[in-house]
């Protein structure tokens, strides 16, 4: 079953996407040269941007008819704009969960999500001392802990070497499989798509009109 599909999708009259079908529970890589509209496509999927024409269907329903906040919580985009609050790792979980009006996970659970993202820090660690790559992984861990139905990762390994990138994706995918989570990855790294992709969608075909 397709969890997300698109029809005649056009953004701002200059990116025309091929029709896209994303199967539930799969690990799907979006590839295409830079500027082909991969990040934009993810923002269209979570309705932070609207297409100029065409339609996107989530679980068979046109997303125009879905409450956008609920959609974003289920189709969660881990974007490239990494942002962490000042304070400790635990404070960050606390802040993000209070924004979502949810109880934060307990320490064991937080440590579990950190370990998936290859982080082994005490929860009291201040985020200001984290390196760019560590901050990015903590950011991913926080998003992942919300256990969405679809997780969209935009260049999740941009600040990592190949070895770490592979471990990170392997563990994320392992979690996704147990939770029946669909994973959509935008990555330039061919090593990763070769190893992990169950489906590759090339949007290079999308035309600049």
Partner 1 sequence: MTNAGIVQLSIFQFSLIYLLLIVVLAIMKKANVNQTKLLIVASVRMTVQLTLAGFVLTYIFENPSPLFTSLYLLTMTLFAIHRALSKNKWLNKSFKWAVALSLAGSGLIILAFFVIVVVRVDFFNPQYTIPLSGMIMGNAMTGVNLGLKSFKDNFSSQRKRVETLLNLGVKPKKILLPFSQNALETALLPTLNNMVGMGIISLPGMMTGQILSGTAPTTAILYQIAIMIAIATVVCLATFSTLNLGIRTLYNDRNQIEFLHEN
The yes or no reply on residue 88 touching partner 1 (CB under 8 A) is no
65 binds partner 1 (CB under 8 A): no
Per CB under 8 A, 113 contacts partner 1: no
Q: Does 103 bind partner 1 (CB under 8 A)?
A: no
Part in contact with partner 1 (CB under 8 A); list of ranges 139-147, 164-172, 178-186, 191-199 = 139-147
Q: Is 125 within 8 Å of 88 (Cβ atoms)?
A: yes
Min dist CB 39 to partner 1, Å, is 11
Residue of 118, 53, 122, 125 lying closest to 86 (CA atoms): 125
Residues 6+ positions from 76 with CB-CB distance below 8 Å: 46, 143, 146, 148, 150, 151, 152
Alpha-carbon distance of 81 to 99, in angstroms, equals: 18
- For the bound state, the minimum distance from the C-beta of residue 190 to partner 1, rounded and expressed in Å, comes to 26
Distance between CA atoms of residues 141 and 91, nearest Å: 14
Which of 8, 19, 52, 69 is the binder for partner 1 (CB under 8 A)?
69
| Residue 163 binds partner 1 (CB under 8 A) | no
For partner 1, which stretch binds (CB under 8 A), given 41-49, 158-166, 182-190, 200-208?
41-49
Which residues make up the interface to partner 1 (CB under 8 A)?
46-50, 68-73, 76-79, 81-83, 96, 99-100, 139, 143, 146
């Amino acid at each position: 079953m397709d969890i997300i599909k698109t029809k005649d999708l056009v953004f701002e009259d200059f990116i025309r996407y091929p029709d896209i079908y994303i199967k539930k529970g799969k690990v799907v890589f979006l590839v295409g040269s830079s500027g082909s509209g991969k990040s934009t496509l993810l923002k269209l999927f979570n309705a932070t941007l609207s297409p100029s024409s065409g339609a996107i269907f989530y679980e068979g329903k046109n997303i125009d008819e879905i409450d956008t906040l609920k959609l974003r919580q289920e189709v969660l985009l881990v974007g490239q704009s990494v942002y962490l609050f000042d304070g400790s790792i635990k404070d960050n979980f606390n802040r993000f969960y209070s924004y979502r009006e949810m109880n934060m996970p307990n320490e064991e659970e937080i440590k579990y999500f950190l370990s998936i993202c290859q982080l082994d820090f005490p929860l009291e660690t201040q985020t200001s001392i984290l390196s760019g790559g560590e901050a990015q992984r903590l950011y991913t861990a926080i998003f992942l802990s919300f256990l969405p139905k679809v997780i969209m990762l935009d260049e999740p390994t941009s600040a990592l070497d190949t070895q770490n990138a592979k471990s990170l994706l392997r563990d994320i995918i392992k979690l996704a499989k147990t939770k029946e989570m669909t994973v959509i990855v935008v990555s330039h790294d061919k090593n990763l798509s070769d190893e992990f992709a169950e489906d590759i969608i090339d949007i290079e075909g999308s035309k600049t009109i």
